[in-house]
């Protein structure tokens, strides 16, 4: 008589496969959950979309993978806990495996929910050099992952070294959108938006092309990288 490993039996009892992938009668639960949370970018690298998209036949395809922050092979009892499931891109999930990433997506402090502690720090001399030469390959930065393992295990700094052209665009924006130009633009926006005008947050988001609040970085890829350089340059408050 052959026994199913306890771990597999536990996952079967918890209906893990059905919750994750659904079937013809029951749609998968997790894609709807992350959609409600507003998470659309990999919570580790913030460089890839993690969304659910409707296909031509109206079925829904989840374009992300679920990482078990506490790995499910060792702790199958946490396999279906929402607080243990992180929507991530395939690259991060494959690279992570059973390695431990200390970043915590969820928090019992509502003010800290989904905020990021890690930070991109741009080298001021290299920004000055770029302003002179317009050669964006000269832009230098470091990614301080606060010891979470994002650099060591997921090569996050390496991912963003391919995105120096995006950093260059923000540097140019910071030059163009000086205070007087911003004030003039905001007045012209008021004409479009009526007597209430446009809020400072919406206006700055328009300029940045991404979300401003550190708690919103999971709503759009590249938000953290974009916010950090824009804030360092004074483009956004
Ligand atoms: Zn990723």
Q: How many CA atoms lie within 13 A of 101 on its CB side?
A: 30
User: What does pTM read for this prediction?
Assistant: 0.87
Q: Could you please report the per-residue DSSP string of 159-224?
A: HHHTTHHHHHHHHHHHHHS-HHHHHHHHHHHHHHH-TT---HHHHHHHHHTS--SGGGGGGSTTHH
Distance 156 CA to ligand 1 centre (A): 8
Distance 105 CA to ligand 1 centre (A): 13
Q: What is the pLDDT of residues 197-215, one digit of tens each?
A: 778 888 899 999 999 998 8
Distance 90 CA to ligand 1 centre (A): 7
Q: How confident is the model at residue 153 (pLDDT cuts 50, 70, 90)?
A: very high
> Is it the case that residue 156 has pLDDT exceeding 60?
yes
Distance 142 CA to ligand 1 centre (A): 18
């Amino acid at each position: 008589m052959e026994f199913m490993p306890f771990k597999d039996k536990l996952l079967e009892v918890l209906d893990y496969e059905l919750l994750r992938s659904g079937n013809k009668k029951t749609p998968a639960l997790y894609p709807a959950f992350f959609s409600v949370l507003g998470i659309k970018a990999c919570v580790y690298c913030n460089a890839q979309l993690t969304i659910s998209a409707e296909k031509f036949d109206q079925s829904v395809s989840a374009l992300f993978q679920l990482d078990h922050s506490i790995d499910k092979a060792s702790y199958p009892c946490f396999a279906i806990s929402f607080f243990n499931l992180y929507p991530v891109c395939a690259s991060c999930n494959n690279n992570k495996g059973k390695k431990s990433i200390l970043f915590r997506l969820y928090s019992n402090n509502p003010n800290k929910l989904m905020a990021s502690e890690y930070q991109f720090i741009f080298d001021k001399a290299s920004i000055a050099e770029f302003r002179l030469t317009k050669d964006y390959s000269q832009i230098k930065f470091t990614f301080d992952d606060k010891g979470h393992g994002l650099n060591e295990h997921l090569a996050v700094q390496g991912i963003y070294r391919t995105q120096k052209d995006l950093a260059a665009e923000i540097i140019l924006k910071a030059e163009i959108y000086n205070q007087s130009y911003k004030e003039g633009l905001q007045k012209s926006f008021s004409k479009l938006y009526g007597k209430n005008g446009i809020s400072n947050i919406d206006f700055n988001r328009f300029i940045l092309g991404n979300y401003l609040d550190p708690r919103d970085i999971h709503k759009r890829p590249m938000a953290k990288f974009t916010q950090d350089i824009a804030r360092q340059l004074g483009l956004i408050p």
